[in-house]
Amino acid sequence: MKTLLSALALTTALTAPALALAKPVTLTANLNQYGGDGAYLALYVTDAEGTYVGSLWLAGGKAKYYEHLSDWYRATAGSTAEINGITGASVGPGRQLKVTLDLADALFDAGYQLHIDAAVEDMRDSPSEVVVPLTSAGAGQPVQGRRYIRDCTYDM
């Protein structure tokens, strides 16, 4: 049910402004064995100029830790309205986050980027842990994270 709600929220947030068609996209993040608590992850999209477009998913349920997802937090002013209905549990070391969402066709091959911020309690925050252009050619190609995420892919 959460996947359905998140897909609906995302489709509305990211397709209505562009009046575009949408397609299901599966985002997968495989975490490293970093030896700490579960990671909070914020998945969001920016445009070609780096301007925040919308949130896709937030892994982690306690709002008091969202400020540690600093790039996402700055872009959204910490507004929980940005993630209403699109949240899940934090992701433990060595585990995988896999979510399927509807993304507007207009986001691909047009300069948009997928960002993932990561934060782990009592460890260093990792803003923009992963930044990857949303391109048709990049689908299925793993992108390495900087600290907590071993690799990330999106498949259409």
**Would you say residue 10 has pLDDT above 60?**
no
The pLDDT, as a whole number, for residue 1 is 42
In this structure, the dihedral spanned by the alpha carbons of residues 91, 96, 97 and 101, taken in order and rounded to 10 degrees, is: -170
Q: How confident is the model at residue 80 (pLDDT cuts 50, 70, 90)?
A: confident
pLDDT, one tens digit per residue, over 84-115 is: 889 999 999 999 999 999 999 999 999 999 99
Contacts of 26 (CB under 8 A, 6+ apart): 98, 99, 100, 154, 155
Q: In the predicted model, is pLDDT for residue 131 greater than 90? A: yes
SS3 115: strand
Among candidates 121, 54, 62, which has minimal Cα distance to 81?
54
Separation CA 89–CA 95 (nearest Å): 12
